[in-house]
Amino acid sequence: MDFLGRIRKLDSSLQRGLDNSFARVFGGKVVPNELEECLKQEIEDFLMQDANGQYLAPNDFRIGISAADYKNLSASEPNLPNQLTDRMTRYCRNNGWGFTGTISVHLQAVESLHTGQLKTASTFTEDTVSTSEFVPFDGNAESADNANTDAAPSQSDDEPQAAETSAAYHPQPEAEQFPTASRPIPAVDPEAATELSNPAVDEDQSQEKTITLLLQDGSSRVFEVRHGSNIIGRGTASDFRLPDTGVSRQHAEITWDGQDAVLVDLHSTNGTIVNGEPIDNWLLADGDEISLGHSVLEVQIR
């Protein structure tokens, strides 16, 4: 790793430490957007280059959260691990980064963390069969410190096989541990465990909406917004490409979870406007008009 890379890595590590310190003092629940930003930072911190100069991103992620946040997110966002997997796949693809295997995201409770605190670890794995999930756990699992002592080999700073956020983790076949936990992970209550093993599909999800963007230029081009990240821009890597010189290569992003669609301006040159108002982010509604450069998109939610 070059000198500037070490500085960037130190800076993001310090920032995470500050964020966790504030979370411990002031509290506050973890929300999905925090997890997404945490994963993006993890990817940027541990990008590597192969022999052909291709940038590769870590593809097996673990996020440690408090037991309270675990119960809250597993109940309110049962599909969150899969949604994060989809978003990170698109994020890496849009930046031209490859993978050594399929991306997977695991959310796991860590007893030593307070509400609002996060810890991450990532590895480069080949042909992983790991499934993105809220990792079930029980009170009889051995401590992560012991597991790391037995399993984690020493390695140089330049060796990319395990991302270095606190400690490398090594998935175990039965009781998987988050690497930086200093005590055994507590058991999930029976009701939560039932929800994890048999996630129920609620009525709203069974009647999922569809969202489309209609380009108002006489061409009647229609783009159907897909789950996860949807990039709008002039560049070839965009999901919905607009041949408009007033549109940035990656101008804006729509994140869609089947119920809510959030539009975010990606620091574009000319900005993003919704219904005549400049925005940084916006919860889209049926009939909204999005203006990017000289192009206008009508939002249709059915």
Q: What is the pLDDT of residues 40-90, one digit of tens each?
A: 999 998 899 888 888 999 999 999 999 999 999 999 999 999 999 988 988
Domain limits of the chain? 3-200, 207-301
Hey, what's the torsion of the CAs at 176, 178, 25, 28, to 10 degrees?
A: -50
DSSP SS3 for 100: coil
Q: What integer pLDDT is reported at residue 129 of this predicted model?
A: 64
Q: What integer pLDDT is reported at residue 116 of this predicted model?
A: 87
Q: Quick check: pTM over 0.85?
A: no
Nearest to 270, CA basis, from 297, 236, 243, 233: 233
Q: What integer pLDDT is reported at residue 131 of this predicted model?
A: 85
Nearest to 242, CA basis, from 209, 290, 205, 206: 290
**Digit-coded pLDDT (tens) for 154-174:** 344 444 444 433 333 333 333
Q: What integer pLDDT is reported at residue 136 of this predicted model?
A: 81
Hey, what's the torsion of the CAs at 12, 17, 18, 20, to 10 degrees?
A: 120
Q: What integer pLDDT is reported at residue 127 of this predicted model?
A: 66
CATH top class, domain 207-301: mainly beta
HSE of 156 in the Cβ direction (CA atoms, 13 Å)? 3
CATH top class, domain 3-200: alpha beta
Tokens representing 38 are 């945490």
**Digit-coded pLDDT (tens) for 244-287:** 999 999 999 999 988 889 999 999 999 999 999 999 889 899 99
Strand residue runs (E) in the chain: 48-49, 55-57, 60-65, 98-99, 104-109, 118-123, 133-134, 211-215, 222-224, 228-233, 240-241, 252-256, 261-265, 272-274, 277-279, 281-283, 289-292, 295-301
- Identify the DSSP state of 173: S
CB 280 within 8 A of CB 265: yes
